[in-house]
Amino acid sequence: MSRIFSGIQPSGELHIGNYLGAVKNWVALQQRFESFYCIVDYHAITVEYEPALLRERTRDMAISILASGVDPERAVLFLQSAVPEHTELAWIFNTLTPLGELERQTQFKDKSSRQESIPVGLLTYPVLQAADILLYRADLVPVGEDQLQHLELSRLVARKWNARFSPEKPFFPEPKAEVTPTPRVMGLDGTAKMSKSLGNTVGLLEEPAAIWEKLKPAVTDPARVRRTDPGTPEVCNIYHLHKAFSPPETVKHVAVQCSTAGWGCIDCKKVLFESMKKELDPIRERAAEIRSNPATVDTTLRAGAEKAHAVAKETMREVKERMGFAP
Ligand code: SF4
């Protein structure tokens, strides 16, 4: 069975953008692959953060992931900081990674341009990411399109290390991208990617009444000024959310009703709201159940870390042996 690795930052409860873009896919992939899912808390400290909030957000993220359907019996769910080999391997990879490769990473250019003093961790973040993936010798990494450049760096690091220390038979596989089927989810303002910092999200665990209050004013096709104006579904974010939440026959119906002005945008949003409720109600209920028994989360993450650690330790043993470290 091929192995996949995927990481997510501990940003608190999931919003539907993270859910559709990553975690929903994790739930499907755990059926087909040996899956390692990691809450990458070391990545979260490359920017300013509050220690107490990090703890709370890590727990909330774990609850959201488990409530979404990641099954600890099928997949290994763990915290990056609980497996010290991640940073150990990252150091080794730091010694092989060309500075220029890191400086030209789009995310580094973007984030560093907004900071006066740039922490080294922001620059070497993709090296830690390479270590995260290669520590488990993962064959595949489910990624969004904006992560493809970092994955390419992981492939480069694997190639460089193999060429230097394991030329006969490559030890690290060059991980391939499993691009997520849901394209990036736009926020309810319809102009930017859904993101907590932009305040345009719908929380995965939000109560239905709160979700409806957000959907009502959400931006639609600007050409539909009057109820009688026909619209173009493809330019409307609500239509794309239908594609994520509604059954295919409803999506077809939406397209027809929109382009013929058969219904208004509020009618369309009411149908979307019902589809969302159908998928999200059970997740919210499961999350409440998990939250009422906090020990479950700790036990699950600890058990996951033990399984991950067993694999990580073995990888590091082989890496160190090939690199000439004394046993
Ligand atoms: Fe968007 Fe639906 Fe309105 Fe068409 S009818 S513009 S798909 S909200």
Q: Is the CB of 239 under 6 A from ligand 1?
A: yes
Best probe residue, ligand 1, of 228, 236, 269 (max atoms within 8 Å of C-beta): 236
pLDDT at position 301 is: 98
Q: Is the CB of 233 under 6 A from ligand 1?
A: yes
Q: Closest ligand 1 atom to the C-alpha of 268?
A: 2
Phi, psi of 148 (to 5 degrees): -60, -35
Which CATH code, of 2.70.170.10, 3.50.50.60, 1.10.240.10, 3.30.160.20, is assigned to 206-288? 1.10.240.10
More confident residue, 53 or 144: 53
CATH number, domain 3-185+294-323: 3.40.50.620
Q: Is the CB of 272 under 6 A from ligand 1?
A: no
Report CA(240)–ligand 1 centroid distance (Å). Answer: 10
The full set of domain ranges for the chain reads 3-185+294-323, 206-288
pLDDT at position 27 is: 96
pLDDT at position 158 is: 97
| Mean pLDDT along residues 190-217 | 91
Beta strand segments in the chain, E: 3-8, 34-39, 75-79, 140-143, 176-179
- Examine the pLDDT at 220 and tell me if it is beyond 90: yes
List own/partner pairs for 285-293 with CB under 8 A and 24 or more apart. Answer: 286/66, 286/67, 287/63, 287/64, 287/66, 287/67, 287/205, 290/63, 290/66, 290/67, 291/63
Q: Is the CB of 60 under 6 A from ligand 1?
A: no
pLDDT at position 182 is: 67
Q: Closest ligand 1 atom to the C-alpha of 264?
A: 5
Confidence grade of residue 221 (pLDDT, cut at 50, 70, 90):
very high
| Mean pLDDT along residues 8-12 | 92
pLDDT tens sequence across 280-299: 999 999 999 999 998 999 99
Q: How far apart are CA 202 and CA 218, in angstroms?
A: 11
pLDDT at position 156 is: 96
Report CA(282)–ligand 1 centroid distance (Å). Answer: 27
Active site residues: 111, 193, 196
pLDDT tens sequence across 14-67: 999 999 989 999 999 999 999 999 999 999 998 889 999 999 999 999 999 999
| Mean pLDDT along residues 244-260 | 96
- Examine the pLDDT at 304 and tell me if it is beyond 90: yes
Confidence grade of residue 107 (pLDDT, cut at 50, 70, 90):
confident
The pTM of the full predicted model, rounded to 2 decimals, is: 0.92
